[in-house]
Amino acid sequence: MQKRQHNLCPESLENLTAELDKLRQLILTHAQSDPVIQVDQQLALTRLIPGLTMEDWNNLSEKYGFSEWFALDLDNSTYFNIANLQRVINDLTHKSERDALTGLYNKQAFEHKLSMELQRVERSNGQLSLAMIDLDDFKSINDTFGHSCGDEVIRTLADMLDASTRGYDHAARVGGEEFALLLPGAGPLRAKALMDRLCSMFADTLIKCKGATIQCTFSAGVASLKGRNKAKGQDLFDVADKALYRAKNAGKNQVHVTRQLIEFEYDRSTMVHSNEKQFLFSGSK
């Protein structure tokens, strides 16, 4: 079936795109120059465009990058427009949480996931592991093969993290060549086994780019905790980072694990001290 073309003539389309671009720039300039405007303030603007259908608009929006503009179809029901608005909101939410290159969570979204999982661990007395992953000698790959091949290496590792982990694990790209992997319910032994497997798989992967074959490795550091604790997300990041640096210093292409964060598990003020034990079990009245 032949795709129906939009009813706007080329001149009208050119005027429409020019007006939208002009309005976008005007809004951005105003927002940057006015310190009163807050990041969370938003405004919706509408304009009637005769002869343009929702299908036409969706095609134009995708082609010209008008995803921040929301269209209302006055020929359809309120329900249709609400459903369309929900679709746009979901799409924007997804984009705001995802890294553009890999499709993994970005750092901000990952930190939110980590915060939620730490609350779950505290409520359920469960366990949790966080792995920090860094590509080895990545600068030399960019210098030798170019940044586009470097991007291909990053995407390859991202795809592997996404495909080789459980459905309730969370993978993120948190830096240029740095990734994080959140493993709910996994203790240090299970996390180490998973990361060792991924480390070996990635080292054996041949990445094709611009006629070249690239092999790359990564190093990883893992931090784990269990039980009711007062650990914060940054605490776990810091411990995993230290383990990552140990893996790098030990020769790279390996995984180092920091065992359970004991200092965060117990509230020592409630522990029974040795002199109290002696009193309790001495039989004294």
208, 143: one domain: yes
Q: Which of 193-197, 206-210, 219-223, 270-274 has the lowest mean pLDDT?
A: 270-274
Q: CA distances (Å), 89 to each of 29, 69, 70, 84, in order?
A: 24, 11, 10, 9
pLDDT digits (tens, 9 = 90+) for 61-74: 777 777 667 776 76
233, 174: one domain: yes
User: How far is Cα 99 from Cα 94, in angstroms, rounded to an integer?
Assistant: 10
Question: CB-based contacts of 256: which residues, under 8 Å, 6+ apart?
Answer: 220, 221, 222, 243, 244, 246, 247, 250
90, 127: one domain: no
174, 245: one domain: yes
Confidence of residue 48 (pLDDT cuts 50, 70, 90): low
Q: Which two tokens stand for residue 21?
A: 């671009």
Question: CB-based contacts of 26: which residues, under 8 Å, 6+ apart?
Answer: none
The residue-averaged pLDDT of 134-153 equals 97
pLDDT digits (tens, 9 = 90+) for 261-273: 644 444 445 455 5
Domain of residue 84 covers: 10-97
156, 211: one domain: yes
pLDDT: is 189 or 60 the higher one?
189
Q: What is the pLDDT of residue 158?
A: 97
Alpha helix positions (H), 69-136: 78-97, 107-124
Q: What is the pLDDT of residue 79?
A: 60
227, 185: one domain: yes
Residue 140: give its domain's CATH number. Answer: 3.30.70.270
| 275 within 8 A of 215, measured Cβ to Cβ | no
Question: CB-based contacts of 265: which residues, under 8 Å, 6+ apart?
Answer: 225, 226, 227, 228, 229
Question: Catalytic annotation on 177?
Answer: yes
Q: Which of 114-118, 133-137, 236-240, 280-284 has the lowest mean pLDDT?
A: 280-284
Q: Which of 5-14, 85-94, 122-131, 201-210 has the lowest mean pLDDT?
A: 5-14
Task: Considering the candidates 19, 117, 177, 276, report the single residue annotated as catalytic.
Answer: 177
Residue 117, Cβ neighbours under 10 Å: how many? 21
Residue 1 lies in a domain: no
Count of domains for the chain? 2
Q: Which residue has the tokens 């992967």?
A: 205
Res 23 pLDDT > 80: no
Whole-structure pTM value: 0.64
168, 256: one domain: yes
Residue 34 lies in a domain: yes
The residue-averaged pLDDT of 19-33 equals 70
Confidence of residue 2 (pLDDT cuts 50, 70, 90): very low
Closest CA to 122 of 226, 20, 212, 47: 226
Q: What is the pLDDT of residue 169?
A: 93
| Residues forming beta bridges with residue 255, ordered by sequence position | 220
Confidence of residue 157 (pLDDT cuts 50, 70, 90): very high
